[in-house]
Amino acid sequence: MKWFVVFLLAAFGIHGAAAAADWSTVSTPSPGPTQSIGFYSAGCLQGAQPLPLDAPGYEAIRISRNRYWGQPVMVDYIQTLANRMHAAGQAHLYIGDIGQPRGGPAPTGHASHQVGLDADIWFERQPGARRVPADRENPRLRSLVRADDTGIDDTVYTPAHVALLRTAAEMPNVDRIFVNKFIKQRICQTATGNRTWLNKLVVWLGHDEHFHVRLHCPPGNPQCQPQAAYYADDGCGEPLDLWFRAPPVSLPPPGAPQKPYRPKLPAACNAILSAP
Ligand SMILES: [Zn+2]
């Protein structure tokens, strides 16, 4: 469903000259120390680090997309989260897109993931042996939301998903985590104890098969543009109600023309793209 987000952002008039295809055809990171430049949905990444494709507690999927590059803080985050879930007895995580080798806009799938500080982590888990990377292109990735989009699919959703989201939200450096409105609603209705972590769960379209972790700009990245905080509280009141009553963004009508998402990137990204 992520292309809808792309459509909507494009509809808001964020256009520029940088062609998305350029960023997706560069297969290696740029030299230099890691630096996030610009905003999550209009930026690039110098000195990206690759996420190791396998490690305790996770495996990267859809390797052929070559979007497993990010900030060291994101690599650390994923490995730490995976270790914690493994220690908690959960099956290993499926890690999806982080970013392209130099960040920047991707031709398909995302408006953000441009500065190495966004990552998609799938709700699906398959206990048992790992597969080789070549066999991870089209895994089963079930949604936690019913196919008719009327609510949580309780044949898929389990407390393990909630434990995963809570652990993910309570780790350091998390700016926000995007989830589907039904997931947020269910957790708002059921979370007990300290509910501070609910503040990090931000509702967005889609995000029913995976959640999207966004980290804060790391120290020492002066060109990284932070995002304003979203909820003042747990976000379970009016901001959530709005998604059911009058969604702030919605799906385009069937057959609506799509414009490619062409954000205007900071000038410093030109050198990142053209570096050897
Ligand atoms: Zn994402």
Residue 103 Cα, ligand 1 centroid: separation in angstroms?
A: 13
Residue 245 Cα, ligand 1 centroid: separation in angstroms?
A: 25
- pLDDT tens figures, 29-57: 999 999 999 999 999 999 999 999 999 89
Q: According to the model, what pLDDT value does residue 21 have?
A: 53
- pLDDT tens figures, 133-187: 888 998 889 999 999 999 999 999 999 999 999 999 999 999 999 999 999 999 9
Average pLDDT over residues 10-31: 65
Residue 141 Cα, ligand 1 centroid: separation in angstroms?
A: 15
Q: Is pLDDT at 7 greater than 50 in this prediction?
A: no
For residue 9, the surrounding DSSP H or E stretch is: helix 2-11
Domain span holding position 33? 2-274
Say what the pTM is: 0.90
Percent pLDDT > 90 in the chain is 78
**How many structural domains is the chain composed of?**
1
Residue 82 Cα, ligand 1 centroid: separation in angstroms?
A: 18
Q: According to the model, what pLDDT value does residue 256 have?
A: 76
Q: According to the model, what pLDDT value does residue 20 have?
A: 52
Q: Is pLDDT at 267 greater than 60 in this prediction?
A: yes
Average pLDDT over residues 124-135: 85
Better pLDDT: 145 or 16: 145
Residue 189 Cα, ligand 1 centroid: separation in angstroms?
A: 25
Average pLDDT over residues 55-71: 95
Better pLDDT: 17 or 255: 255
CB 23 within 8 A of CB 106: yes
CATH of residue 105's domain is 3.30.1380.10
Average pLDDT over residues 196-208: 97
SS3 273: helix
Residue 4 Cα, ligand 1 centroid: separation in angstroms?
A: 13
Residue 179 Cα, ligand 1 centroid: separation in angstroms?
A: 10
Residue 207 Cα, ligand 1 centroid: separation in angstroms?
A: 8
Residue 112 Cα, ligand 1 centroid: separation in angstroms?
A: 7
- pLDDT tens figures, 223-237: 999 999 999 999 999
Residue 257 Cα, ligand 1 centroid: separation in angstroms?
A: 23
**Alpha carbons within 13 A on the beta-carbon side of 254:** 0
**Alpha carbons within 13 A on the beta-carbon side of 239:** 17
Residue 73 Cα, ligand 1 centroid: separation in angstroms?
A: 17
Q: Are strands 58-60 and 93-95 parallel, antiparallel or unpaired?
A: parallel
Task: pLDDT band for 131, please (50, 70, 90 cuts).
Answer: confident
